[in-house]
Amino acid sequence: MILAQLTRRRAHDSTLTKSRYNVLLVLHKFHYYPKLTASGQYPTFAQRQRLYHQDANYMMPLSTQETSSTQPASAGPIQNGSTSSLSDLAKTNLIFQSGSHQQTYTLETKTTSIHRLTDLPDADAQLFKPASNPPPGAQIFALTTEATIFHPQGGGQPSDIGTLSTLPEYGSNQEGQKFFEVAMARTSATNIGTVLHFGYFIDESIAQPGPSSLPVIQVVDSDKRHLYSRLHTAGHVLGTATRSLLEDKIEDFDELKASHFPDAASCEFKGSIDGKYKSEIQTAVDQLVDKDAEVRIGWWRKEDFRNRGLERLLPSDEVWTQIATQVDESGDEVEGSTGPDDEVTRIRVVEIVGFEVYPCGGTHVPSTKGCGKVSVKKISRSKGTSRVSYLVD
């Protein structure tokens, strides 16, 4: 899907060079979009953060020009049939990426805009493909917010679903009421870094397209989020177990990509993995789950990868420049960046402590035992690659 969207965008956007196209493919996976400012400096924490939680990883645009304003677009309400531009919107603060909010399911924030699906640019409208159909006749909208606890589909992880509710100060007849069902969250294809919350209004009196500044409470479906977190961590467990078992046995072995969707979860590897290894992989997975190893969110410098002998995980310099942020190892703001190789420029990683680390933007359970039972289903092979599928109970 991402490849198709970027291909369409490249066909109509002369500024999207092959180099930037390839970078976008990588960045979409991790929900990372920091940038250099117009003066060539890394963005300050204040430029990235909005109002909430000091250790959230904030997405910035790939453009080399500095965003002139962090306020929503000042245009009036959108008329039916017009095209709604997202280009002036500030980027969404990704609270779900904070290490301290992996099991947080509610968030107070503010809306920044409301858009009819039919008014969005085609590349954004085509992102809406929910797992379940909205009620018959429901009009689909896309809402943007200053911050979000909703994980948008990407990086192999499904979108969160849930609701938006009004806060008491909105009005006596609307206090605490659910007014919007979020059927899917996606990262905008036309304004990289803005999260679109697709869904429909329960209270249509609030459905006023245009700029918006409504205080709201976001609530994600905690059962689904927990399942997705278990599946995502289980995918890392499977990758770790398979690497430890087969890295020295299979020529050119490497981890390629993964899907963490229910009923379609799998990890793909370079090299041909014989079916005879299925039981050994299962044993290695069981052992790692039983160890109850901590799953830790962190931010690493290039030096941290090198010191651990993990140069294979380092992105290219071009990608590093785009995804790096100026924080300490806990994700808190620091200053004094001098370039991509300095002491304070880092990217987000998920570490199975004592075993393996992955550059990753997804949500996770606190420890490997939180995955529950992880079952290796089958091993399939095609054109020099192998896919190991799995499920969690």
pLDDT digits (tens, 9 = 90+) for 162-202: 999 998 754 445 557 899 999 999 999 999 889 999 999 99
Residue 388: closest CA among 268, 295, 287, 270: 268
Select the highest-mean-pLDDT range: 80-89, 298-307, 319-328.
298-307
- Rounded to the nearest angstrom, the gap between the alpha carbon of residue 255 and the centroid of all alpha carbons in its chain is 20
Mean pLDDT value of segment 58-71 = 29
Structure tokens at 71: 């306020």
Residue 338: pLDDT over 70: no
Structure tokens at 375: 């079952």
Domain 226-392 carries which CATH code? 3.30.980.10
Give pLDDT, residue 175: 56
286, 292, 364 from 289: Cα distances, Å: 5, 6, 14
How far, in Å, CA of 272 to CA of 254, rounded? 11
Question: What confidence category does residue 76 fall into, taking pLDDT thresholds of 50, 70 and 90?
Answer: very low
Question: What confidence category does residue 333 fall into, taking pLDDT thresholds of 50, 70 and 90?
Answer: low
User: Could you say which architecture CATH assigns to the domain 2-221?
Assistant: Beta Barrel (2.40)
Strands 385-392 and 266-270: antiparallel
Looking at every residue in the chain, the average pLDDT score rounds to 80
Secondary structure in 3-state letters for the chain: CHHHHHHHHHHHCCCCCHHHHHHHHHHHHHCCCCCCCCCCCCCCHHHHCCCCCCCCEECCCCCCCCCCCCCCCCCCCCCCCCCCCCCCCCCCEEHHHCHHHCCCCEEEEEEEEEEEHHHCCHHHHCCCCCCCCCCCCCCCEEEEECEECCCCCECCECCCCEEEEECHHHCCCCCCCEEEEEEEEEECCCCCCCEEEEEEECCHHHCCCEECCCEEEEEECHHHHHHHHHHHHHHHHHHHHHHHHHCCCCCCCEEEEEECCCCCCEEEEECCCCHHHHHHHHHHHHHHHHCCCEEEEEEECHHHHHHCCCHHHCCCHHHHHHHCEEECCCCCECCCCCCCCCCCEEEEEEEECCCEEEECCCCCCCEHHHHCCEEEEEEEEECCEEEEEEEEC
Q: What is the location of CATH 3.30.980.10 in the chain?
A: 226-392
Structure tokens at 310: 């993990």
How far, in Å, CA of 364 to CA of 368, rounded? 9
Residue 269: closest CA among 285, 253, 284: 253
Mean pLDDT value of segment 49-57 = 29
Residue 25: closest CA among 125, 154, 153, 124: 154
Residue 37: pLDDT over 70: no
Q: What is the location of CATH 2.40.30.130 in the chain?
A: 2-221
Question: What confidence category does residue 98 fall into, taking pLDDT thresholds of 50, 70 and 90?
Answer: confident
Taking residue 1's Cβ as centre, other Cβ atoms within 10 Å add up to 13
How far, in Å, CA of 149 to CA of 93, rounded? 9
67, 135, 212 from 89: Cα distances, Å: 9, 29, 11
Residue 69: pLDDT over 50: no
Percent share of the chain, pLDDT over 90: 54
Select the highest-mean-pLDDT range: 6-10, 21-25, 124-128.
124-128
Question: What confidence category does residue 1 fall into, taking pLDDT thresholds of 50, 70 and 90?
Answer: very low
